[in-house]
A and B are shown apart, each in its own frame.
Chain A
Amino acid sequence: MAATLQDVLSAFDGTTDARSLSQIAQDLSLEPARLQGMLDYWVRKGKLREVSFSGGDCGGCGLKSDCPFVTRMPRTYERVHSDDLPPAGCGANCGCR
């Protein structure tokens, strides 16, 4: 039986650290490309957050997110805890999640 969405979320149980795509893929014996979409699901649901570096801080360098080094950065995710949920009154459709 292939890994389910619940398995993906369980990979973050018992740790407050962020976890990389490749690490979780290894733990769940899943190809990273297949896992990516499932992680996207939890990010959309507000249960996980991607800790990304998109090259936006690269000063004047025009390559930014196209920089070969930036694109090779590991994709890392961390669990969203109840104390860092969106502020009160923030709806599901506001996009801040």
Chain B
Amino acid sequence: MTFTIALAGNPNVGKSTLFNALTGSRQHVGNWPGKTVEKKEGYLRTGDEDILIVDLPGTYSLTAYSIEEIIARDFIIHEQPTAVVAVVDASNLERNLYLVAQIIELEVPVIVALNMTDIATNRGLTIDADELSERLGGIPVVETVGNRHIGVDALTRAIKQTLAQPPLPALRATYEGPLRTELDRLEAVVAESDAIPSGYNPYWVASKLLENDEGLTTKLQESGASELVQAAAEARARIEEATGEDPELIIANQRYQFIHQILDTVVVRPQSAVVTMSDKIDRIATHRIWGVPIFLLMMWLVFQFTANVSAPFLDWVDVFMNETVYGWGLELTAALGLGGTWLQALVTDGIIAGVGGVLVFVPVLLFLYFALALLEDSGYMARAAFVMDRVMRVMGLHGKSFLPMIVGFGCTVPAVYATRTLENERDRKLTGFLATFMSCGARLPVYVVFGAAFFGVASGNLIFAMYLLGIGVALLTGLVLKNTVYRGTPPTPFVMELPPYRVPRPRDVWRQMWERTEGFLVKAGTVILAVSVVMWLLLATPSSAQAGTFNDVPAEQSVFGVLSGAVAPVFEPAGFGSWEASGSLLTGILAKEVVVGTMNQLFVDQSAASPDAVEEPDTSFGEELGASLLGFGEAALLTVQEVMNIVPRTINLIPVVDIGEISFFPAEAEEENTTNLQTALRASFEDSAGSVAAGALAAVAFNVFVLLYVPCMAALAAMRQEFGWGWMWAQVGYTFAIAWLAAVLVFQGGLLLGFGG
């Protein structure tokens, strides 16, 4: 005899993880017959027996409202598994027990797998599994943590015991009053009927008919049991007459009442009187006065860490991409007989320079996401949202707006869509408008390259200042709009659960940093690649017949150069009126990462665009690879050095304090650590601004413009979809105007204050 166990449960309760833990690699994945819903089957070996485990689709209920619900309930009724393992999320028992109550009503043997008990414990919940078992009529309840394989053996034992024992009597104590009377009466009628299809138990059929279940009613009418449908209609009418309420609603209400009664005795919630370590930390971290400065300090540390620790790897990747890979590109295309052709230029100056110029920043993102993941996994980030919620309410904004805005630090597109979770259209529009000022991850490479070029080890300060400026402009804009366009809507408090602090888990930290960085890599291989190719074409195409021929034209006289040059005067008051800077800003509207990619194409590789630039390699492939690996090792050592220097360097910021910093290499060897792009940038900005000091000022103004100006095309498309064309164009106009004004203010104001030398 083959035993079958069905795994049922709500979505996202760890059902599949438990399925994998029970069956190992002995699985088969297919589709449910005639459906596109995935069906997973596997075997659990216990002693001499193979037990078939079937993973049912995740559902919240066993009504017939979705295809998943129909599949799950039809399987239990028609296939009659030996038992059903109801997997429930212990941290969200209230929501999960509704399905368990419905499975129990089907009168099949049930085992409850109380999964994710670790999360419940972390939240301070205590669940009495024995009491739960008793309240559910004696069915086995097994505590499990599927992803850590905890409780899987106990669950296997419970399954074996259930197979050996006769099923327990069904739990029927959930209904009362006129409903109970009619349910009993209808059950008796159903039990006597010959027209009931096999597999249906009378109690469940009676309760479903009282719920007016469309699927079952149709099925009974097709099988000739119309008299039952009629009897049920009469029973429903009697209940409605006696109570004045829809029987379906009474059943659901009584089911919830039953669940709430169970929870009252089974779940013990944390007493607010108990002061935990987290509470003690929160007295400082979320303090009314200190909370915000602590948040700002944390962010400053994150950017200092990111800028300094990633610098050695940034230099290494830059050399690797712009010299080694660029050289390989030249050699490979030359070997294919393409030397000196436009195809060679496309590969090297278009694709490698454009995409490579952006890939250089992967180490920066990895370290940034590492630092953010540490803050997130430790539980601090939730405090940051809590602290900023208070600030936003002081400014007259809804605290709930801050979560979409935090998402905006990653990418503006999901931030705009995340505004859907806000209550009314005015809040949604306002938050979407402000979220574009949150500095998205795509702008970070711009700050990093300018920070390193103009401010060296203090580049973290520039990055920090840009993030802070974004928040400041958003808050001020919000304040203005709240007092003009959106006057009279009071902010509502934002209820947010603060998880307890904990030591970050390496696996979670790694997953967060890698999966976020992976998104950047995907974009580099798609959007940025496409833009780089188009950019190269525009650079290779002469603006007129006199300017040159295809792939043999001075960049300034190419289509791109002339277009950018036409826009450049607009930015002269801000100190960056060169056609290269304007051109980068134009392409940045497509995607902000492209600003750096374009700069790499314009500043670094113009000389290499000429066919004359192809040189015979002096070194072999193996030697170049060896040198790259050696460079990687040096970068790793320098990274360790930078990590060790974080504390002394931070302390050294205090005036009169001077603690020695660790150095693994001689000072002169460390001096030459700027990339080709950074050197070219410095020269260009100093030239367009008029002096070395004014060049730095123009660089800051350029960064301010990049932070505040028109969001990328994808973000604009999201805004149009969510808020309409009018709102989108208003955003374009406002962001351009405020970005230009702020950039001019920074440059001209800086000159007036004497920062321009």
Interface residues of chain A, those whose CB is within 8 Å of chain B, are: 2, 4-6, 17-20, 22-23, 26, 31, 33-34, 36-38, 40-41, 44-45, 51-53, 55, 57-63, 67-70, 72-76, 91-93, 95, 97
Inside 8 A of B496's CB, which chain A residues have their CB?
Answer: 72
Evaluate whether A57 and B413 lie within 8 angstroms (CB atoms) in the complex, with A23-B492, A37-B256, A73-B418 already known: yes
Contacts of B406 in A (CB 8 A): 69
B211-252 Cβ-contact flags toward A at 8 Å (1 or 0) = 000110000000000000000000000000000000001001
Task: Show 17 residue pairs from A and B whose CB-CB distance is below 8 angstroms, ordered by the A residue.
Answer: A2-B257, A20-B400, A34-B260, A36-B95, A37-B97, A44-B60, A44-B66, A51-B421, A57-B718, A58-B519, A60-B522, A63-B516, A67-B407, A70-B414, A92-B215, A93-B65, A93-B70
17 further contact pairs, Cβ within 8 A, besides A2-B256, A73-B403: A5-B253, A18-B423, A20-B421, A23-B492, A31-B94, A37-B60, A37-B95, A37-B98, A41-B61, A51-B421, A53-B414, A53-B420, A68-B381, A70-B418, A72-B403, A92-B65, A95-B65
Dominant secondary structure of chain B at its interface with chain A:
helix
* Partner pick for B411 among A38, A41, A58, A72, CB 8 A cutoff: A58
B515 touches A63 (CB 8 A): yes
Is B417 engaged at the interface, CB distance under 8 Å to the other chain? yes
State A39–B95 Cα separation when bound (angstroms).
Answer: 10
- B89-103: CB near A (< 8 Å → 1, else 0) gives 000111101100000
Residue-by-residue, is B255-295 near A (CB-CB < 8 Å gives 1, otherwise 0)?
Answer: 01101100100000000000000000000000000000000
B40 within 8 A of A: no
Known: A23-B492, A34-B260, A95-B65. A18 touches B515 (CB 8 A): no
At the interface, is chain A mostly helix, strand, loop or mixed?
Answer: loop
Given contacts A18-B424, A53-B417, contact A5 B256 (CB under 8 A): yes
Q: Are B67 and A95 in contact (CB under 8 A)?
A: yes
**How many A-B pairs with Cβ below 8 Å?**
152
B411 proximity list for chain A (CB < 8 A): 58-59, 61
Size of B's binding interface in residues, CB under 8 A = 61
Measured in the bound complex, the distance between the Cα atoms of B374 and A44 in whole Å is 38
Q: Report the separation of the CA atoms of residues A67 and B511 in the bound assembly, to the nearest whole angstrom.
A: 10
Please name all residues of chain A whose beta carbon is closer than 8 Å to the beta carbon of B718 when the two chains form the complex: 57
Q: Does B410 contact A (CB under 8 A)?
A: yes
- Residues in A with CB closer than 8 Å to B414 are 53, 55, 57-59, 70
Find chain A residues with CB under 8 A from B66 CB: 44, 93, 95
Report Cα–Cα, A97/B184, bound state, in Å: 32
Q: Given the complex of chains A and B, what is the CA–CA distance between A87 and B172 in angstroms?
A: 39
B518 at the interface (CB under 8 A from A): yes
Which residues does chain A contribute within 8 Å of B381, judged by CB atoms?
Answer: 68-69
Chain A proximity mask over B712-727: 1 for CB below 8 Å, otherwise 0: 0010001000000000
Chain A residues in 8 Å Cβ range of B95: 33, 36-37, 40
Collect the chain B residues with CB atoms within 8 Å of residue A59's CB: 411, 413-414, 519, 522-523, 714
| Nearest neighbor of A58 in chain B, beta-carbon distance | B414
CA distance A4 to B420 in the complex (A): 27
B421 to A63, Cβ gap below 8 A? no
Whether A69 and B407, one on each chain, are in contact in the complex, defined by CB atoms closer than 8 angstroms, is yes
A residues less than 8 Å from B422 (CB atoms) = 18, 76
Instruction: Report the Cα distance A59→B412, complex, angstroms.
Output: 10
Q: Is B382 among interface residues, defined by CB-CB distance under 8 A?
A: yes
- Report how far A38 CA is from B260 CA in the complex, Å: 11
Among A31, A38, A76, the most chain B Cβ lie within 10 Å of the Cβ of: A38
Is the pair B410, A37 in contact by a Cβ cutoff of 8 Å?
no
The interface residues of chain A lying within 8 Å CB-to-CB of B253 are 4-6
**Given A59-B523, A63-B515, A69-B403, does the pair A38, B423 have CB atoms closer than 8 Å?**
no
